[in-house]
Amino acid sequence: MTRTVAASANNAKIQFNFGNQTGDGTSGFYLFGYQIEQQSYATSYIPTSGSQVTRNQETCINATPEINSEEGVLYAEISALADGGSYRIISLSDGTDSNRIIFFYDVSINRLSYQVRVGNASQFNGAINNVSVLQFNKVALKYKENDFALWINGVEVAADAVGNIFPLNTLTKLSFSSGNASSNFFGKTKALAVWKEALSDSELQSLTTI
């Protein structure tokens, strides 16, 4: 059950109607998981024991896989906490903006953008509109010399048969950010993976189908 309190409310009471319940007269009544959120979306439960508790930021460490700079697939199953307003990026990079593979939820509503940048030159980029960013989406970006594609939820939504790729051992960092510690990905993540080879269309369809 959820209830929303107006932003202008002062010392407002939050009331829940559980209806009439018939008990046994001795067991009592227990309420579990009651949590007040400041934002418009729900987060995971924060256990408390009689005092206020602040959530520690969830992090992912020691996650960098063996990365093939010359071909591969960057994949994630993700959803946003809010629609629009900021850049929330997942990337493969050398730690800079000059060499990176990224896809991200955009500042615009219901839009997912992507880019492959080699030597500070964009090789494959664009934006996909009408993506339900608050729902989980399976996203896969394939990169290979003259063979780029973006798949979302079992559908190839963008492709390019022309484009350069990175020199050997360029990509070294998998990050929930742009690669240079900006535009952090604040969202929900069910899966994050990197393939060392470019998958076939049938494999990418199977991988990203909801």
Q: Which residue has the tokens 């494959």?
A: 124
Rounded CA gap, 34 and 205, in Å?
40
Q: Please say if the pLDDT value at position 49 is more than 80.
A: no
Q: Quick check: is 42 in a domain?
A: no
CATH of the domain at 184: 2.60.120.200
Confidence of residue 54 (pLDDT cuts 50, 70, 90): confident
Q: Please say if the pLDDT value at position 14 is more than 70.
A: no
* pLDDT of the residue at 36: 75
Q: Quick check: is 121 in a domain?
A: yes
The domain total for the chain is 1
Distances (CA, A) of 142 to 92, 97, 145, 162: 12, 19, 10, 13
Confidence of residue 37 (pLDDT cuts 50, 70, 90): confident
- Three-class DSSP category at 203: helix
Q: Quick check: is 159 in a domain?
A: yes
Q: Quick check: is 25 in a domain?
A: no
Confidence of residue 16 (pLDDT cuts 50, 70, 90): low
Q: Which residue has the tokens 């190839």?
A: 156
Tokens of 193: 């993976």
The tens digit of pLDDT for each residue in 154-163 reads: 999 999 999 9
The share of the chain scoring above pLDDT 70, in percent, equals: 85
Q: Quick check: is 157 in a domain?
A: yes
Structural domain including 108 reads 71-208
